[in-house]
Structure 1
Amino acid sequence: MGNGEEYRRRINRAQDYIEQNLGRSLSLEEVAQQAAFSPYHFHRLYTAMTGESLYQFILRLRLEKAAAVAVACPHRSITEIALETGFSSPATFARAFKAKFGVSASEYRGRKDRKAVGKDRNALRKDRNAAASTRPYLGEVMNTFPAQSINVEDHPQKQLAYLRHVGPYAGDSALFEGLWGRYCAWAGPRGLLGAPNSEMVCIYHDNPEITEDDKLRISLGVTVAPGTETSGEINLLTIPAGKYVCARFELTSKDYAGAWNTLMGWLPNSGYQPDDRPVYETYLSDPSEDPEGKHLVEIRMGVKPL
């Protein structure tokens, strides 16, 4: 069995589990366990391989099942069907059903020609397809950015003297400039910037497709010698040793999402799968010195054999 087929087999297993348990609450950790993937990476991998997020898949199956039951069992109440198909309340179900089908469940049940309902949904379908076209797919990754190289390497344990930010960060170059400015004001007088074998790093602790924006955590800083003293808002953390896939790119600020999509699209046929170690970027150049403002960046993700 090829590596891509193994990823597909695991995704299919997760989808089977979801379908068998639509009527109850399903956590990311629970579904990821069925696919034997790390919960941290599963949501992004699922989207890359199917073209819709895990949440969208579960919601779609619940709504489609509810619609079928509403038609096949006209004696059953809409509220009963909503709760049976995993919705937390009739109000939540009503909003989701109308958003998908364009009419209420009662109206859907009463219509003789449900193909007409489908025509009402053409605009919704176009919107969904347009959104899906920007998502990556296995074997044909969309919205990608070409890598200079992608290699699997063994890396030693590293100590990072870091400054942490909690909150939104996507596309906010001013935020990162401010964070690095604060960090350098601490690290510069201590001789930590540009030290031999040091690396400038940003760790992403949370998956932005799952965690709410105001709770997202990043830790940026420079790798330092063990035992380095920190102070104020600067702390130490350990980046574990082991195998990492290292994908190198030359990026502008708008290219980062495409670079991450490239890496996720590379994984299924690589013979590796992500593990639970931190995912981080290492910055290998100063974009202020590039006439186009480009940054040489290496994305590193801990991996283990598939």
Structure 2
Amino acid sequence: MAGLDQEQRTRISKVLEYIEHHLDQTLSLEYLAKLSTYSQSHFHRLFTEMAGETPADYVKRLRLEKAAHDLIYEPNLSVTEIGLQCGFSSLSYFTTAFTERYQHSPKTWREGAYLEKFPRRYLHSKKSKQFSRKEQETSPETSYTRFQWVDLTKVRTMVFPEAAIVLSHRLGAYTQDIIPTWEGIYRWAEARDLLSQHSRLMGVPRSNPYLTPPDKCRYDCCVTVPLGTTVGNDMETGTFQGGKFAVYEFDEPVGYDNRQLLIECYSELYSFWLPRSGYRYLGNPVELVQITPKAGTLDIECRITAITLPIEPK
């Protein structure tokens, strides 16, 4: 993204945000270019440079990833309903595209084939005899029978207020390589006296690492700022919508180098807490982040203090 200036990044980011929330609608190159205010050819070039893939490939990938997720966690929706809600014009097209991507039909994926990529079964998922038998054949040493990483009794719900934010994006694996992005936005806010005891640092994973190739994963580093803050053109701004969240706070903050632990915790929240909670998920999780300058250096330490899921009643 280094080749794009701030205005270009902001415009393309708004299109990325629009796509994510309107996958059920027609998202033609002409329409997306119009949203960006660029010509189609210029928009196509900037989008591809920033996202790492063409607009058409990006839209199709997000639709398939959302469908793969919803087939697991939305058991009350039919395969056809999920395909249509993810923007596929027909069940046949949805089935063909999904099977090409995941080597299983949507029906087979829902019935348990997703376990080839996911570590554990969703409590309320539809379960076929084929995959029930496969699980029974798994040795006791490798089978998963109970939660291991999250004390589900400590999950609580909180309402976060809407807030103005400044943010920076990162494209790539969810590892310690995110820290330089955090350092950039943290130092920017610090130099402008925008950090206070009321500031909230939030990391937003935009992708599911079980479904998205590491080099295509998006992560937003966000800092809340007072409403009405004048930022100028050197930093992207946005709005954190707030709402009700399920919150799991770690006893000890977790570093970005321990992403596998974080993934396991998310998996347990989705697979065990969510189906019995009376809630459904609404979108991307949010990670609450703690940044601590390292004494005697210019380095910072970034750790995640809690993971949260936006929710609403079923």
TM-score normalised to structure 2 length: 0.51
Aligned residues: 209
How far the C-alpha of 1:23 sits from its partner, in A, is 10
Alpha-carbon deviations, 1:222-269, whole Å to 9, x = none? 111123233566311212132111111124332322322332221111
Which one has a bigger Cα radius of gyration? 1
How far the C-alpha of 1:27 sits from its partner, in A, is 4.3
Match of residue 230 from structure 2: 229
What SS class does the counterpart of residue 165 from structure 2 fall into? Answer: strand
Match of residue 178 from structure 1: 180
> What amino acid is the match of 1:252?
V
Match of residue 261 from structure 1: 267
Alignment of 1:33-72 (within 5 A): 48-50=120-122
Given that 1:251 and 1:294 are in contact with CA atoms closer than 8 Å, whether structure 2 keeps it comes out as no
How far the C-alpha of 1:299 sits from its partner, in A, is 1.3
5+ residue gaps, structure 2:
1-70, 83-90, 100-104, 296-300
Alpha-carbon deviations, 1:154-207, whole Å to 9, x = none? 2211222111101222xx22x1332222222211110122x1311111011222
Alignment of 1:12-161 (within 5 A): 24-25=95-96, 27=98, 48-50=120-122, 129=138, 133=142, 140-141=146-147, 143-146=148-151, 149-161=154-166
Match of residue 273 from structure 1: 280
Is the aligned partner of 1:11 residue 2:75?
Answer: yes
Match of residue 309 from structure 2: 301
Identity %: 19
5+ residue gaps, structure 1:
1-6, 36-41, 62-124
Q: CA 1:181/1:279 → structure 2, altered by over 3 Å: closer, same or farther?
A: same
Alpha-carbon deviations, 1:120-169, whole Å to 9, x = none? xxxxx89x958x9487x7xx23x524468311122211222111101222
Given that 2:167 and 2:221 are in contact with CA atoms closer than 8 Å, whether structure 1 keeps it comes out as yes
TM-score normalised to structure 1 length: 0.53
What SS class does the counterpart of residue 211 from structure 2 fall into? Answer: coil
Given that 2:152 and 2:273 are in contact with CA atoms closer than 8 Å, whether structure 1 keeps it comes out as no
- The answer to which structure, 1 or 2, has the higher relative contact order (CA under 8 A, 6+ apart) is 1
> What amino acid is the match of 1:273?
R
Is the aligned partner of 1:219 residue 2:220?
Answer: yes
> What amino acid is the match of 1:11?
P
From 190, 193, 204, the equivalent of 2:192 is 190
